Amino acid sequence: MPVKQHNKIVIIAVILFLIMQTLIFASIPRSTENEPVNVIIKSGTSLNSIANLLKDNDIIYSSYLFMFYSFLTRSNLIAGEYELKKNMSTFDIIMKMKHGERNIYTLKIIEGYNIYSVAEIIQNAKITEKDEFIRLAKNRNFLDRLKINSGSLEGYLSPDTYYYSKETDIDKFIERIVQRTFKSFEKENIRDRMQELKMDINQVLTLASMIEKEAKMKEEKPLISAVFHNRLRRNMSLDCDPTVTYGTGAFFSPITKKDLATPTPYNTYVLRGLPKGPICNPDKNSIMAALFPAPVDYLYFVSRNDGTHVFSKDMATHNRFVTIYQRVKKTKKQ
pTM: 0.84
Residue 188 covered by a domain: no
Q: What is the pLDDT of residue 17?
A: 54
Q: What is the pLDDT of residue 332?
A: 47
Per-residue pLDDT band for 27 (boundaries 50, 70, 90) equals low
Residue 23 covered by a domain: yes
Which CATH number goes with the domain that contains 64? 3.30.1490.480
- The b/e string for 207-216 (b: 16+ C-beta within 10 A; e otherwise) is bbbbbbbbbe
Per-residue pLDDT band for 136 (boundaries 50, 70, 90) equals very high
Residue 158 covered by a domain: yes
Residue 191 covered by a domain: no
Instruction: Say if residue 271's pLDDT is above 70.
Output: yes
Q: Of 152, 183, 214, which residue constitutes the final position of a domain?
A: 183
- The stretch 77-102 carries a mean pLDDT of 91
Which CATH number goes with the domain that contains 305? 3.30.160
- The stretch 316-321 carries a mean pLDDT of 92
Q: Of 183, 206, 234, which residue constitutes the final position of a domain?
A: 183
Q: Rounded mean pLDDT of the chain?
A: 89
- Structural domain of residue 212, as residue ranges? 198-296
| Overall domain count for the chain | 4
Q: Of 183, 209, 228, which residue constitutes the final position of a domain?
A: 183
Residue 190 covered by a domain: no
Residues 25 and 43 in one domain: yes
Residues 215 and 286 in one domain: yes
Residue 193 covered by a domain: no
The predicted-structure confidence for 322-332, as pLDDT tens digits, reads as follows 898 876 554 44
The predicted-structure confidence for 284-304, as pLDDT tens digits, reads as follows 999 999 999 999 999 999 999
Residue 192 covered by a domain: no
Residue 260 covered by a domain: yes
Give the dihedral sign, CA 269/274/277/280: positive
Residues 218 and 248 in one domain: yes
- How far is it, in rounded angstroms, from Cα 45 to Cα 205? 39
Q: What is the pLDDT of residue 333?
A: 46
- How far is it, in rounded angstroms, from Cα 248 to Cα 264? 8
